[in-house]
Structure 1
Amino acid sequence: MTVDEFNQAVKLHADGVYRFVLKNIRDEEKARDIVQDSFEKLWVHRNALPVEKLKAYLYATAYHRLIDVVRKDSRMSLIEEVRTEAVHTEQYTDLHEVLNKAVLLLPNDQRSVLLLRDYEGYSYKEIAEITQLNESQVKVYIYRARVFLKNYIGKMDVLV
């Protein structure tokens, strides 16, 4: 294939290949890149390709490049999803730290009964036996601790 034949192929087929790729990918910049890659590959293989097979070769090359781009984009979107999930995990960790700080601000009695109830899962009766308090005191301390935590985290929500 000569330079003139290549230029003629560009004039004849560039628009058709571009429309074909654009219809499938719906991104003008990527479509232009794919068309350019296809013609570049045609230029590299110009001596081994008969002129009669030129159009089929261009469309096949553009199609295969299109598939490569779509696969690459889908991998990139998966990577972005993983990064997004990591960000959500980090935000959860921050909330966890705020909650831990709030628990540390509680008076010792309230902190103890709250941790035994909410973190360890003991019943009110078991907590009363462990802490040497009566059940009604345990319930009051837990209620006060939860109200404090709710207000503290509520204030943090406004700040964030």
Structure 2
Amino acid sequence: MRQYADNVYRFILKNLRQEEDARDVVQSSFEKLWSNRHSVDTEKSKSYLFTIAYHQMIDHLRKSKRVQLRDEFREEMRIADRPVHQLKRTLENALSRLNETQRSLVLLKDYEGYSYNEIGQITGLNESQVKVYLHRARIQLRNYLVSLENII
């Protein structure tokens, strides 16, 4: 748990952008890993954990889309209270414009360093799908980031 908790939490938080929701998803992922600990190979526990976390996150996103009870004003105030560097904010805005799958792929590849094959196992996509979706996501990110009005 100590070895992977920060990585899983960071991955889920980057996607959900809600600290409490991310903690819930990570906790339930570790619970599932613990309940299946006898059937999971130790060498594949990290990949298994990320797979569980990814699916838990997708389930959470689907549920939250059905029930829109968020107070947007409070969320904007909470984010505005924290001093955030402009570049970091621009990158977060760029990532938020991607769909769930694209954002997950970018985070798994570029932030967590997984191979295409490992990402495919985590997300249930084949390797060529991962490459195509990741390429398209990076094009969208590039187009957003090179736009002058998004940087200023």
TM-score category (smaller protein) = 0.3 to 0.5
| Alignment TM-score, normalising by the size of structure 2 | 0.44
Higher RCO (C-alpha under 8 Å, 6+ residues apart): 2
Which protein shows a greater Rg?
1
> Comparing both structures, which one devotes a greater share of its residues to helix?
1
TM-score normalised per structure 1: 0.42
